Amino acid sequence: MIPIVRVTNLTKSFSRGSEKIQVLDNLVLEVPKGQFLALMGPSGSGKTTLLNLIAGLDSPTSGSIVVGDQEIGAMSESQLARWRTRHVGFIFQFYHLLPVLTAYENVELPLLLLPLSASERKRQVLTALDLVGLSDRMSHRPGQLSGGQQQRVGIARAMVTDPDLIVADEPTGDLDSKSAEEILNLLVELKRSLEKTIIMVTHDPKAALYAERVLHLEKGRLVQEVFNPPSPRLAGSIA
């Protein structure tokens, strides 16, 4: 399979005062297209940093990150911003919807940065909302939606530009187990039907079971790699 993400010798360090903290240490990783990958590890292991780097939210100290056919490690901030709009969709733990905008408008936000006509935009927003099953709630404000519903709006927003890659940082971290299950099933469904590549950071082993491949990080290194059987529902029932 063609890797959509190829990370080579990736190092990221922060300096806090005189102290230098090595968050990622010479990491190597390939993610094939259409894979649902979960990143796990204790806090401080560098999993979120890795996710942010792949998503182009942060720049590496050294090493290269190629997403699709582009080296994003060397891009400037504004190049990254433009690249993100087209190629990456984000799902956040706390949804981060703009409270004053309706579900529809929140989903529309990333599309506005693309050269689309109004009718194309409308079609895509409706498709995305349909996909997450919220067509009947599109004129609600985030405050009028439950946590699970808000996260589904978040997923629709991540999907709406039809990105190659979807990154999710603890997407179920703020949800009850029932809503969490629904969201994870939705992600699996997206992966399966639309062949999206999904990289998800989670600390919840149950959530990780939905992914096909789980990577464990510790102190900035990959320490373990697990391939799950391809039946999330089964995995769910086992748990």
The three-state secondary structure class of 49 is helix
Residue 161, number of CB atoms within 10 A of its CB: 19
Crossing angle between the packed helical segments 177-194 and 147-159, to the nearest 10 degrees? 20
Residue 105 interacting with another protein (CB under 8 A):
yes
Considering only 2, 28, 100, 234, the residue that binds another protein (CB under 8 A) is: 100
Considering the rule CB under 8 A, would residue 85 count as an interface residue with another protein? Answer: yes
Contact (CB, 8 A) for 149 and 157: no
Which of 53, 108, 180, 214 is close enough to bind another protein by CB under 8 A?
Answer: 108
**Per-residue contact string for residues 156-195; x = within reach of another protein by CB under 8 A:** -x--------------------------------------
Total residues contacting another protein (rule CB under 8 A)? 26
Beta strands of the chain (E only): which ranges? 3-16, 19-32, 36-40, 62-67, 70-71, 88-91, 165-169, 197-201, 213-218, 221-227
Question: Exactly one of 41, 46, 60, 110 binds another protein (CB under 8 A); which one?
Answer: 110
Q: Does 57 bind another protein (CB under 8 A)?
A: yes
The span from the CA of 8 to the CA of 211, in Å, is 23
Query: Residues, the chain, total?
Result: 239
Stretch that binds another protein, among 37-45, 86-94, 123-131, 170-178 (CB under 8 A): 86-94
Using CA atoms, how far apart are residues 55 and 161, in angstroms rounded to an integer? 15
The single residue among 43, 78, 119, 237 that binds another protein, judged by CB under 8 A, is 78
Binding residues (CB under 8 A) for another protein: these are 52, 57-58, 78, 81-82, 84-85, 90, 92, 94, 96-101, 105, 108-110, 112-113, 118, 121, 157
